[in-house]
Amino acid sequence: MFPLNGDQESVAYEAPFGVVEIGRSEVEKALAYHREAGVRPREIQNWIYAGDAQGGVTIGSSVVAWDYAEVCGGQGGQYPILQPILLSSAYSCNRWLHCWTQPGDHRFTFSVYSHKPGWENGYRQGVQSNNPLIAVVPETKDDRADLAESRSFLSLSAGNMVVTAVKKSEDGHEVIVRFYETEGKSSSRVRISAEGTLSGARRTNLIEEDCGRLEHDREGTTLEVGAFSIETVKLTP
């Protein structure tokens, strides 16, 4: 349990390709169901946030379900208590009422980051803790290697963009880059810079169907990105 010394003004969590603020940006029917059923836990992608005008706390975790208030009564309603639901057992709906448990060993990770008010100031740390940098050292060294010791394989010029995938295209050898705008800001022009020489760039939809050519140079391409937009770009080496 993580009780926070502050008012319960804002609780937010990462959802696929976006952020949900509890009681503010949730779908109305879903919010009505949660209130009527008395169900508070939410399913998070990488992190959950709570804060007020004085500051905020973001917790990155491998636990999927989280509650954000006192579950045993008391004075918990006055301040946020972020609580991971580590294990859950359930009975089946058949007549034998089989109990489905979660046996075996379980490992959970948590990272706690305090920051200025607003989930916008902590979400990157929440994502980073679940995606550690993995270094691979080759067994042999190629004398022809001439890359700098420090360099980015891919970079975006706007800090409010989150890259979710870099992969080979489904129908060729191009590189697919998928990212989204997470803070509700319209960024008129976003620059994608890639390692190596670029010979082509095209915009696609989520299933990689072509949506048109993008202007590019040898080092990258630039495109317009709207608020909360999900973008997929196909880069041709």
- 183 lies in the same domain as 111: no
- 117 lies in the same domain as 214: no
What are the helix and strand counts (H, E) for the chain? 2, 19
- At a CB cut-off of 8 Å and minimum separation 6, what does 122 contact? 47, 49, 56, 57, 58, 113, 115
- 61 lies in the same domain as 12: yes
Secondary structure element (H or E) that encloses residue 119, with its range: none
- 8 lies in the same domain as 115: yes
Is the pLDDT score of 73 beyond 80? no
Is position 149 within any domain? no
Mean pLDDT for 39-52 is 91
Identify which of 7, 1, 27, 13 has the alpha carbon closest to the alpha carbon of residue 127.
13
pTM: 0.79
Q: What is the pLDDT of residues 99-133, one digit of tens each?
A: 877 888 989 999 999 999 999 999 999 999 888 88
Residues 8, 80: contact at Cβ < 8 Å?
yes
Is position 138 within any domain? no
Q: What is the pLDDT of residues 187-211, one digit of tens each?
A: 778 999 988 788 899 999 999 999 9
Domain range spanning residue 101?
2-128
| CATH number of the domain that residue 209 is part of | 2.60.40.2220
CA distance 166 to 31: 34
pLDDT band at 77 (very low <50, low <70, confident <90, very high): low
- 181 lies in the same domain as 79: no
